[in-house]
Each structure stands twice: as structure tokens, then as C-alpha cells.
Structure 1
């Protein structure tokens, strides 16, 4: 509960995660039937890019602020939503982006365990009948709040990775939801500092027997320094039709603008488990 995302809002990892999230939500909205979204680690909802925390790290300057002039191509939809939410003054977190894409028949469940962040998030959506905000551990919410009554939707898992065992908890959570709620799309963010933990994570998922898994990864430099966020990934369970090609276009466009030009930068979309 010590982690505060305000220090990292709008960084390259946010851009990657949220651009892919928007694409997943657009795919869910193709069908007229309602869906629900569970955001297990929701945060504040939106972040002031002029705040001292953000300025101290400068991560938004190397992230979202390099992208805001883009108005066409695979990033255009995501960036239009970011601008509509107040950028460059504010950066929208996942609850705000999700809410912007909900239709009248859809709903959002947002969980946040940090008491101050939860209070801010709850106040933001206080009068919104389509959003429920819970002061709840995100890992516990996977069991308590799935499956959804609509029988379709998206589970977004975005933990801070400040505690030991987060990769193991994530693998177990993916397997749990896949067993309880097969129709759910799961989108699970993870850091890439060096390769060993990521390889172990992918292997654990393969051994769990969960089917239809895709890993989209973006890295700004060779992932060999365990003390540095060199890249990040989004593990997608039950990806929508043609999402693999769409993710590749998004990652290619992100690296073109955000790439560090350091040795080893790149992106990949990899099938971890077959359908």
C-alpha cells in the first residue's frame, strides 16, 4: 500500500497498457449485449501532470507528452480519449478511460486498497450508477467479484509489483478467473526488468493449463538490469479476434515515438498458449 502511481503517471508503461486496453474495450463493444469491467488496482482515476510527484520523475515527458500530437494511425483512438480527459494537464488512469468507453448497458467495478486513493476515486464516481468503487484487495476481488452477471467482460489486473510474489499471484489469478469465468477477457500488466521472472511467469501459465494466452511486450532497452524498468508486458487471456495484429500495430507505433534508441529496444506479440 506504499505505492503511489502519481510518480509514474503517463509514462511509457501507461501508454502501452492503456492503448491496448482501449483496443480491447472497443472489441467488447462490437456486440450489443452488455459487459462489465473489473479494475483490480484502480488508483486515483486521473493524475495531475503538473504535480510535484510527476515532475520529480519526468516520466510523462518521456511518455504521453511525446504522443499528444498524433491524430491518426493505431494510437489515434487512445490519444483522443486522453486529450478529452484533460491532457496535457491531466492523465487519465484506467477507470476514467474505461468509463469513457462504457455504453449505457455496461458497468465498471473499480477496486483500490490505498485509503486516500480510494476516497478520491469514490468521490469521482459518487453519482455514477454505472460505476461501483470498492475499498478492497484486488487479488481477493478476482474470486469475490467474478463471474459477472452479464457473462462477458474484461478483468484488468495492474498491481504495483512492490511486493515479493506478484508474478506468482498473477499467474494464480489468471488461472482462477479462467476456470470460473471462461468468457472473460483478462488483461494483466507486468514489468520487465530482466528476463528470468518473465520466463518463469510464462512457464507457470503454460503449466497451469490455461488456454488462449497472448503476451504483448515493449522494451526500451535490453532487459538486463533488475533495478530498472526496462520494459513491460500485457498478458491477455481470451484475446478478441484479430487483436494479435492490432496489438502489433500499436506497439510498433509506440516504439517509433517512445523508443530510447538504446541497444536492445523492441516489441513482440507472442502466443503463450494456443486457443
Structure 2
């Protein structure tokens, strides 16, 4: 698991909408108009990202909000903008196709580097590629994805812009096919103090919507459609885990003093109001 805790909840599948990219040849007269359309979609994306950053800062915390700073930089990145403009000019193709080709080429470079940090950055690129593409196609921003109580969000992977769309107040855990300890889902889960198990490879194939599910972020175990015996076992685990947490909370305001009476100052990094309250 990438975020501790144990819950029993209900599977809510998150399936992102798919986009069909149009392939068009354009006349010389339309080249400048197509470039303007592309630049306009970048401006719109930047405005959206600033709004999402503010919302994330308010609802989750500074660390998660900073993810969108990277996205804002990508929208202004000449290494993405210039090749797209050149493709429109030289190949006489529509902005959507030119943007897709530029993003695909950049993602291919990332794929060749086996590094977890680079893998996360490729997700940022994928996310920004998707956002700009939606704006080019004139698609509306997706509405908030509302969920019922005790929701365990199940997805192939979650991009930053997707978690910004989920009503996180009722979410008790995350399970994904892809991802690692530094993935966006893991960071969000730790900030919200809810369990998450990622990199399961095929959980989206095995767990259907509304199935009962046990998520143990401590051991990394996920049990789909648990038996009565498993439910009883994990209900007890949850009870003792929460009891232990309460015992530790009682100790948090006590002074840190060594056996020989020396007082030690303990400090902690926090990234959100919730973390400050629990520190």
C-alpha cells in the first residue's frame, strides 16, 4: 500500500471520457487561423488550471496544488508550442492532430527513461495533452463526479485533473491498476489520510461497480466481494487500528522528554490545514 489505513467500502469505477482526434488537411489560408485556435486553447487551459489549483489548495493542500504549477508551466513550454505550430505550418494539418503528434513524441521520449519520477512527469504531460485537446475540440470541462458514502474509487490510473473532479468528501480509499508511491493518487490519499493500493495491474477487470471491497493500505491487500469471515476479520482489524490511532493522538500534546529528563523539540512538515490539525 502507498497510504495506510483499512476500510470496507463500495467500488465506484472512474472511467474517463475518450476523445476522438480529427485528422484534417488544411489550406494555406487557414494556417494562421489554425495556429490562433491552438494558442487560444492554451490560454483557456491556463485559466482552467489556475482555477483548479485554487480549488485543490483549499480542499486538499499545498503539495497537491503545486502539481498544477507544473501543468501551467507545460502550457507555456516552447518545446511543446513551437513543434505544434511548425506541424500546422509545414504539414498543413489541423491543430488537434498537430498537438497530438507533439504530445505523443514527448511521451515516447519519457517512456525510454526507466525512472519513477520521469514516469510521474509523463502523467503530467498526458494530463495537459488531454486538457488542451478538449479545449481545441470545444468540449466543456467535465462536471464534478459525485459519489455515495464509503466510495472506493477504482481506476486504471488517476490524473491530477481527474481527482480534482471527484467529490472527495465521501471517498474512503483508492485502488488503481497503475501507479507507484510517488504517483498522484498516492500523494492525494496520504494527504486525505485514506488508504490506497496502487499498481494492482488488473483490479479494474476484477472489481465491478458497487461490489463490496476491503482495502488494506497497511499490507497492500485488496479483497473483492469478501466472505462473511473476511468481513468479520477486517472489521476487527479496523477496530484495533482506529483504537491504536486514538491512543497515539492522546500522546501528541505531551512533551517529548528523554529518560534522563532532557526535553526535545519535535517539528513536522505540513502541506494542508488538515495535516496541521492532526500534527
Q: Please classify the TM superposition score into its range, dividing by the shorter chain length.
A: under 0.3
User: Structure 2 length normalisation: TM-score?
Assistant: 0.24
Higher radius of gyration, 1 or 2 = 2
Give me the TM-score of the superposition, normalised by structure 1.
0.25
Higher helix share: 2
Greater relative CO, 1 or 2 (CA 8 Å, sep 6+):
2
